[in-house]
Amino acid sequence: MTPQMPQTQSPARPAKVPYKRIATEEAFATQDMLDIYNKIFASGTADAGFQGLMGFYMSSPSERAQHIMRCLVDLDQLRIQHMDESGIDVAILALTSPGVQVMDPATAVSVAINSNDQLAEAIRRHPTRFAGMITVAPQDPAAAAKEIERGVTKLGMNSVVINSHTQGEYLSDPKFWDIFAAAEAHDAPIYLHPNALPPQMLQPFQECGLDGAIYGFGVETGLHAMRIITAGVFDRFPKLRMILGHMGEALPYWAYRLDYMHQATVRSKRYDSMKPIQKRPSEYLCENFYITNSGVAWEHAIKFAQGFMGVDRVLYAMDYPYQYAVDEVNILDNMNMSLEDKTKFFQTNAETVFKL
Ligand code: 1DF
Ligand code: MN
């Protein structure tokens, strides 16, 4: 059965339901960060993926782009109005992709600190409506580890957002592993969120318009998660938890083939870079990962993921403001699913994972 698309013409306001709706991948931007983006664009040093993504949103006269920019920088009235109109009780906010990951290391570290402070203030203004993820600059892993500690112990945030690759580099490289050590030590899950495609991957996607959220984001972020798994990160950090959006960036659907071909590849010693690991890729997916349905209001996909990972590991997300479709909430409320499982999906899994 093909997915049902949300109604765009005056969808019904979501009904009162016996669970809280907690949306777990909701984006914001600070003006300070956007000012630095503008400097990067003006200097002509932006990579093509970043230019094509935030360069578009920040300069396009289109109604969609201008609306998204207005929503991104609002951490008060407009956002809460949209949450009320779509029946969202709590939004878990993350600095929008690519966050600070396109900046030079020193700027990235200071913008991350500043963004986390601004987010913490917004949460203090609206403590029942907002929670937040700690932004870090992977460019400086030691500073990122310190910021995770500050975010958890001083700012009261219990999760971390990383927007996939950092200037073409992946967290499978052990030089980044201080970040995993800090996340594991503070029991702060890392939300591995998409980024624009890195230069070495962009061309065959961009030439046909498939580089963005339609497909490229999922391919690249799924690749990143697989690199982390096959590099043995979860053998080194067994309590580390990660979160993937967009139905696990399709990895649940791949799980059988990932397991089969990983085993075959390791046994044949085909790649020096693919060493034996303690478990099958699917076991790490089910034991170290949570996934959210951001951007996918589709019962079939959600139920498939629940069947694979268990009903405790699949969470609700909207992906505001990039995908703000009120009717998606109605579609999800109406899933043919027990109230117990729906409550886990919309509310209690998020309360557990993000320690709300
Ligand atoms: C888009 C989608 C942009 C997502 C995003 O950040 C983003 C988009 C700039 O549709 O262009 O985070 N998303 O998560 O799907
Ligand atoms: Mn998103």
What pLDDT, in 10s, does the model give residues 70-109? 999 999 999 999 999 999 999 999 999 999 999 999 999 9
User: Alpha helices of the chain — where are they, by DSSP H?
Assistant: 31-43, 48-59, 63-73, 77-85, 105-125, 141-153, 177-185, 199-206, 216-230, 233-236, 246-249, 251-267, 281-288, 299-309, 326-333, 339-343, 349-353
CB under 6 Å to ligand 1: residues?
A: 27, 53, 96-97, 194, 212-213, 217, 295, 319, 322
Q: What is the pLDDT of residues 11-28, one digit of tens each?
A: 899 999 999 999 999 999
pLDDT value for 85: 97
Q: How far is the CA of 157 from the centre of ligand 1 (A)?
A: 22
Among all bound ligands, the one having the nearest atom to the CA of 133 is 2
DSSP for residue 30: -
- What pLDDT does 194 receive? 99
Q: Which atom of ligand 1 is nearest to the CA of 27?
A: 12
Distance 278 CA to ligand 2 centre (A): 31
Give the pLDDT score at 8.
80
SS3 94: strand
Reported confidence tier of residue 9, pLDDT bands at 50, 70, 90: confident
Confidence of residue 39 (pLDDT cuts 50, 70, 90): very high
CATH superfamily of 22-353: Metal-dependent hydrolases (3.20.20.140)
pLDDT exceeds 90 at position 118: yes
Q: Strands 242-244, 190-192: parallel, antiparallel or unpaired by DSSP?
A: parallel
Residue 215 has pLDDT above 90, yes or no: yes
Containing H/E element for 129? none
pTM > 0.75: yes
Q: Rounded to the nearest 10 degrees, what angle do helices 281-288 and 216-230 cross at?
A: 100
Q: What angle do CA 73, 217, 356 make, to 5 degrees?
A: 55
How far apart, in whole angstroms, are the C-alpha atoms of residue 67 and residue 51?
19
User: Ligand 2 center to residue 245 CA distance, Å?
Assistant: 7
Judge contact between 280 and 259, C-beta under 8 A. Answer: yes
Looking at residue 30, its pLDDT comes to 98
Which range has the worst mean pLDDT, 2-16, 121-135, 299-313, 321-335?
A: 2-16
If you measure from the C-alpha of residue 257 to the centroid of ligand 2, how many angstroms do you get, rounded to a whole number?
Answer: 27
Give the mutation target among 59, 67, 97 for probing the ligand 1 site: most ligand atoms within 8 A of CB.
97
Supply the pLDDT for residue 10: 83
Region label for 231, one of left (φ > 0), alpha (ψ between -120 and 50) or beta (otherwise): alpha
pLDDT tens for each residue of 163-208: 999 999 999 999 999 999 999 999 999 999 999 999 999 999 999 9
Query: Would you state the pLDDT for residue 7?
Result: 86
Q: Tell me which ligand sits closest to the C-alpha of residue 218.
A: 1
Q: Give the span between the Cα atoms of 305 and 15, in whole angstroms.
A: 26
Residue 145 DSSP SS3:
helix
